[in-house]
A and B are shown apart, each in its own frame.
Chain A
Amino acid sequence: MKILVMEDDENKRAKVSDFLQGSVAPITVEVTKSLQSCLRALVGHDFDLVILDMSVPTFDIGPDEPGGRPQPFGGREVLRQMGRRGISVPVVVLTQFDRFGEGDDMVTLDALDAQLRTDHPKIYRGSVYYNVSTEGWKEVLMEHLISVLSNENL
């Protein structure tokens, strides 16, 4: 099983990778840190599942790259781009936040989840709330993994 993860938080990225690789064997995890690197990976390779953070930078941040514009709804943009490019891979949003954006653009996780279900009914599987202090996210993510695996086997 090949999973693509888009996550800019180093700590969370490591924990999610560790969990995925230790959960259901055999799993290959490809990690991306920005909207662009995620889209590039999606266009170039086949995946069985995509796990998206919602707020990411445009480009991978590095010594020579400040990251471009912050993308508070980067996960939604990936889903839209997948729709435009006809990429049909199950997607789970794994986020540490319960609201996104600022001011008039602010959206709660529940509202965003509902919007994504409406806009991308075929590929969007749901959102998982990640928290450093609890392990609940692992159980929910595992359910999604099993669901994807079951569909694969069918």
Chain B
Amino acid sequence: MAPHRSPPSNLTPALLDFRKKLQTKPNKRGILSDARIDFHPRFYAHLARWTLLNVPSAFVEPFPRKLQQGYQPRPLRPVNVYREFLWAASYLINFGESIDRFLRLLDTYPVTFLHNDYSACQDTLDRVEKEFGSSLWLIKNRLPLLQTKDGLEAHKQYSSNIVNESPIIGSFEYITHYVSVRNEPSVTPRNFWNNFLRTHEHQTLPPDLAVYLRFHIEPAFSLSQDEIAAVLRHEHCSPVIDFYDTFIRTAQIAASQHYDDLAPILREVLRSLSTVVNDKRIATILALIGEPRVTALDRTSIEISDDFLGGDYGRACERALTAIEVSPEDQGILDTLTRSATTSPISLPDLAPSSSDLLHTIIRQMASVRAKSKSHPDQANQLLKLAINNNSQSWALGLLAIVITERSSNPMESGQGIVQFSLMAAPMMGVLSLRHQSPAVQANYAALCTAAFPTARSTELANALSSSTELPSESVITIDEKLVTACAISFGAMDYRTALERATALSLSNAPYYRQIAIRYATHSLLGLNRIGDCIRLIVDHVLGNFHQQNIVPIEAAYAAFDEATEAELAGSLELPIFFELVARYVQLTDPLDARRRYACEDFLTRNGVGRPSQISCSTDVLDQRKLIYFLRHLCTEAVMGSSLEFRSSGEVTHERLKILQLLATLDQEHVENYQAESKTLHRKLMIQERLREVDQSKIYVDLDSIRKATQTRTLESYNRYVSFLSHDFDVGAFQDIQEALELVSKGSLDAIARLTLPKNEITAIFESIIGELRDEFTIGSKHGLDCYLSTRIRHGTFSAQLRRPLESSGIITERDYRTDEYKRNEHWIRQLNVQDQPIANEIDALLRNFSAEFDRVISRVVNEHLQVRRPGKMDGWFDFTIVAGQVRFLSALVRKDLPFDEFLNSVFLFLMNMLEGNLEKIQEFFDTKLKAELGALVDDLQIAVESLDRDGHLRELTNSIVSMRTELFIVIDRIKDWFSLSHSSGNEPFELLDAVEVAAQSVRTFRPAFRTVVESYSCQEEWRFAGAQLPSLVDVFFIIFDNVSRHSGFGETPTAEIKIEFSESTISVTVTNECRSQVPVPSLVEKVMEIKKAITNSEHLSAISREGGSGFHKITKILEHDLGISGGLDFGFEPDGRFVTSLALPYRISDR
């Protein structure tokens, strides 16, 4: 019984009972719900009409002024899909007149929207709202309109008004939120789907509701019959506008998915609705499910298709451009227009006006997507997004289908039902997309064509596809189109051999567009024939010739079919590593194929008799240059080559890459700039590594030249006095005792030296004083002594920061709260481990905090007590320069009365350097044994304690982290140990200022990996290079500044230093600026800065040089003034906005003292 039939004349008792209950009982929706199940569907029309007339409150408000935010009535109880369609039609038919008026209001909407007449669009939507109330349909159309017309702020304001006004989040709000996100300009369809699906999957929603929400948000174009029933059931809780829209869409889905058992019901409900509603979509669905009385074909569209099929691309273009102005929603015309534009020798800009309206933008972008221009991936994404966000409009669905088929490698792409769906949704169908449709649709379409346009070329084509046997003659359609049709027929019949032959013939077409179609059929036919190796060769050939066309070849499918036989077939070829690289690049895999790419590369090199890629140059003439270039450029990278036994260090790998880049620059002139840029980056990386090593090896340093200069007054005078005594034969004691002592030493008695003494007299007192002075200058001289460099280069944060880094990066160590001096709670691991048991969480936190305290105590002890020159107050210092009397006696024996002071100094320096070397050996041994043992034991204890708390394996992640941290800690200790060797000068290699900046930044990054520098305006000329010996000092300066930034910047994990370098005639000005925690200067800090500046001005900074823990500005002043000979070059302070600025003025060519 059709929904519009009259109610039965004789009411049954059941019907009477229903009426009575509905009028008297409170639970009206429950009664209606039961009736849908209890009554035969032939009563639905009566039930719906009677209820609407007599008890309308059983239904939702059909045209609500405002959506009932936060409240939706419960859906009726489930019935099967047949009943849902019948119920929906029985209900909706009562609103036929309103629905028809609604559709008429929308007649002009596509034209106004596509021609950018957004005011008219808004006016239409306002009228819809005024006349038919609010609806999801309205929200889903207002959002893209607001985004296009007024921008993000307006669209977000609209959506948040809807979401925020509601006390709870119901379906409307949920859908509104996600549709709004989907419309945001920065959101791509792929990311939206991934994020939405991930979130949606984690929601604990009833399955029916989840389907309903997905249907609206995703949106879904393919549903099972049960899902269709669920969507209809839920939509019955919505206003009439939404229910009708969903009813039509689910009917389109049912028809496009060929649910043949639903066809009779669909015919029945659609026919009945079509008596009261004039909707072109109903006509299309009916036509394609075999309703013979209706036609959905448009003469103009068919004629334009005929022009195209006949090869008159220019005329097809011209006519399509005119027709689409009138019927912009006609996907058949858009389809033909963009195909013609791609195939025509006349370019589209010559044919189309340069209008900037949306319609013409779509046409241009679509033509670009069809032609696979370089920019087509972006344009395809834009079109996809536009189509998805306007999916309630037919033109958008047609557009969606075209983009999906064009982006796909599959010649028969269905886009998970979207392609078939779009044909159902289109008011006028296009014959050219018919090959993507099912045989049933093709047959129905062919029948329509034959009836309406028996002599049209389009009819010939439709009949050929439908019959799958007879092809139209070349006099009717072009040879290219004939071959495409032939490919489609044989491929559809799984006759892959014939399809391949036809695709091969098509690949000879003059039109690139047809060659793209050919490659799709050819590669897929090869897959069908299980000729995987040939398919891979074809894929590689095609992609290397057309990089931006990788999406039209089946890389993923070929990889899925890849087997051992194919691997054996392609082993040693250039195609195999390139194919793996394409797979890794374009297919989302959990395995990045590192090993496969590496082995395939090695096999290729081995087959060509070389070990390294750079050695392949001799045989380049026998290899395909295009493939070789791709191989060298994308596969012979440091990452891939790193595991080859050809290389013994990462430096060798980098140098090999540099050679490859040289080779590439000769082979591939087109990309020579890319190779030069990569080369420059690699050279810079090597330079930084080398400079870093130099700086590391300069940490133990004594400025002997400076000591030499400093001793030219007082010590020289003492020395002259001493020598004068010697020349007057004052006795310092015969050297007999030394000779005797040396003899005893040769017999193994070292005590003899210790027993040596100088006679106590004035002359020996002078000598002892000279040695003491020189030793003190060497060790604790505030400007040039060992201790001042130990302070600047090791103790000032570096040592502690380096040792702490493995612990910080694993989140095991926390910092102390500056107010309480207590270690902060370890929120990182408490959160990471998701420990629910509070006492256990507290125990873990206590363990980690105790460990942090113990670890820092060890570091502090080493820094404050051991990395010191031994002297009163620092008696545990490892740098022991205690000179016993015997050593002084030995030194005195070196001095002759004619010995120049400089030579004397050389001897004393040599002696002190030897002492230093002895100290360093002991320190290295300490690091290797005691420090590793002490810190290792702390880590072991922590691991054991954590494991004892871990009763169910929940703490394994923490244990793993502790284990990794221990390995890394020992590597760091080894690296630090290497600092303790005698300084090597950084040589004479001049360097740019930026080198020092980068080396310092890199040093900071070893313990603060997120530290960032942003260098503004830098262009170095040859004359602005510094002498190599100054590198460590300049690095020290920048290191201290950057360390300050990393510690005091308000950006926590990403501290950033903005660096401005300006050159003038005589000076280089460097300004380093960083954000601070506070956005205004904190008075106490400003005061502190003023105090430091005052101390520096008053030259009080020397006493602060050997102290650590401050700002380091005293140290910078000392380095600038003493090491680099610059006075007054430093300034620092807060800006009004709270940012901290440090500025340096470095004179041109700082003299190398």
Contacts and interface: CB of A to CB of B under 8 A. Distances in A.
Q: Do A and B bind each other?
A: yes
Interface of A: 8-12, 35-36, 39-40, 43, 55, 58-59, 61, 63-69, 71, 77, 80-81, 84, 96-99, 104-105, 131-133
A108 to B, nearest CB: 10
A97 B960 contact: yes
Contacts of A132: 940, 943-944
B725 interface: no
Given A63-B975, A64-B693, A132-B943, A43 B653 contact: no
Contacts of B974: 10, 61
A36 B645 contact: yes
A68 B960 contact: no
Contact of A98 (B590, B639, B689, B956): B956
A45 to B, nearest CB: 14
Contact of A59 (B650, B956, B957, B967): B650
A59 B970 CA distance: 16
B599 A99 contact: no
A50 to B, nearest CB: 16
B833 interface: no
Given A11-B966, A99-B956, A133-B940, A36 B975 contact: no
B943 A133 contact: yes
Interface in B311-330: none
Given A10-B970, A63-B975, A133-B940, A68 B653 contact: yes
Given A63-B978, A65-B651, A105-B590, 12 more contacts: A10-B967, A11-B932, A36-B643, A59-B649, A64-B693, A66-B689, A68-B653, A84-B599, A97-B964, A99-B956, A99-B957, A132-B944
23 contacts: A8-B971, A10-B932, A11-B970, A35-B643, A36-B643, A36-B647, A39-B645, A58-B642, A59-B648, A63-B693, A64-B649, A65-B649, A66-B650, A68-B649, A68-B650, A96-B960, A96-B963, A98-B960, A99-B957, A132-B940, A132-B944, A133-B944, A133-B947
A11 B422 CA distance: 66
Most buried by B among A68, A71, A84: A68
Contacts of B650: 58-59, 65-68
Nearest to A44: B645
Nearest to B953: A98
Contacts of B645: 36, 39-40, 43
Interface in B554-604: 590, 595, 599
A80 B595 contact: yes
Given A63-B975, A66-B689, A105-B590, A11 B936 contact: yes
Most buried by B among A63, A67, A97, A131: A63
B276 to A, nearest CB: 55
B707 to A, nearest CB: 28
A59 B647 CA distance: 9
Contacts of B643: 35-36, 39, 58, 71, 77, 81
Interface string B962-998: 0110110011001100100000000000000000000
Q: Would you list the 9 A-B pairs with minimal beta carbon distance, nearest first?
A: A68-B650, A9-B967, A133-B944, A96-B963, A10-B970, A63-B978, A58-B642, A97-B960, A132-B940
A9 B947 contact: no
Contact of A61 (B648, B940, B971): B971
Contacts of B963: 9, 96-97
A69 B943 CA distance: 27
Nearest to A10: B970
Nearest to A53: B967
Contacts of A66: 650, 689
Nearest to A63: B978
A39 B696 CA distance: 31
A36 B947 CA distance: 33
A104 B940 CA distance: 30
A99 B967 contact: no
Interface string B946-958: 0100000000110
Interface in B672-706: 689, 693, 696
Nearest to B690: A64
A61 B978 CA distance: 12
A52 B649 CA distance: 21
Contacts of B590: 104-105
Contacts of A67: 650
Contacts of A77: 595, 643
A123 B974 CA distance: 35
Nearest to B693: A64
Given A11-B936, A98-B956, A36 B648 contact: yes
A132 B945 CA distance: 12
A69 B642 contact: yes
Given A10-B970, A84-B599, A64 B651 contact: yes
Interface in B1066-1090: none
Contacts of B956: 98-99
Nearest to A85: B645
Contacts of B966: 9, 11
A9 B970 contact: yes
Nearest to B603: A84
A133 B945 CA distance: 10
Nearest to A40: B645
Contacts of A71: 643
A59 B643 CA distance: 9
A98 to B, nearest CB: 5
A132 B963 CA distance: 9
Interface in B33-77: none
Contacts of A40: 645
Contacts of A8: 967, 971
A36 B647 CA distance: 9
A12 B964 CA distance: 12
Most buried by B among A9, A80, A99, A105: A9
A11 B933 CA distance: 9
Contacts of B693: 63-64
B928 to A, nearest CB: 10
B583 to A, nearest CB: 16
Contact of B960 (A81, A84, A99): A99
Contacts of B971: 8, 61
Contacts of B964: 55, 97
A65 B650 CA distance: 7
Nearest to B940: A132
Nearest to A9: B967
A84 B599 CA distance: 9
A10 B963 CA distance: 12
B977 to A, nearest CB: 9
A131 B975 CA distance: 26
B567 to A, nearest CB: 12
Contacts of A99: 956-957, 960
A36 B579 CA distance: 26
B944 A68 contact: no
Contacts of A59: 648-650
Contacts of B689: 66
A59 B646 CA distance: 12
A10 B947 CA distance: 21
A144 B317 CA distance: 77
Nearest to A84: B599
Nearest to B602: A84
A128 to B, nearest CB: 14
Contacts of B932: 10-11
Interface in B994-1023: none
